[in-house]
Amino acid sequence: MIKMEVKDFRKIPLDQQNKEKVLDRIKIRELMEYERYARDNSLYDKAASCYSDYTTCILV
């Protein structure tokens, strides 16, 4: 099993000059917001489409 280090993405400085990284962060945020919207509105098939087949979700 791969152990990943979890970092708070809000504390990582974003280089505003690197347009590719800015666009990547926008796309990630959009995906997260859509997944939460779908989950909160019981659209579980739509929420599931936000994950890859290899995703492991741990609920606490």
pLDDT digits (tens, 9 = 90+) for 28-43: 999 999 999 999 999 9
SS (H, E, C) the chain: CCCCCCCCHHHCCCCCCCHHHHHHHHHHHHHHHHHHHHHHCCCHHHHHCCCCCCCCCCCC
pLDDT band at 1 (very low <50, low <70, confident <90, very high): low
Global confidence as pTM:
0.63
pLDDT band at 13 (very low <50, low <70, confident <90, very high): confident
Measured between alpha carbons, how far is 58 from 60 in angstroms, rounded to an integer? 6
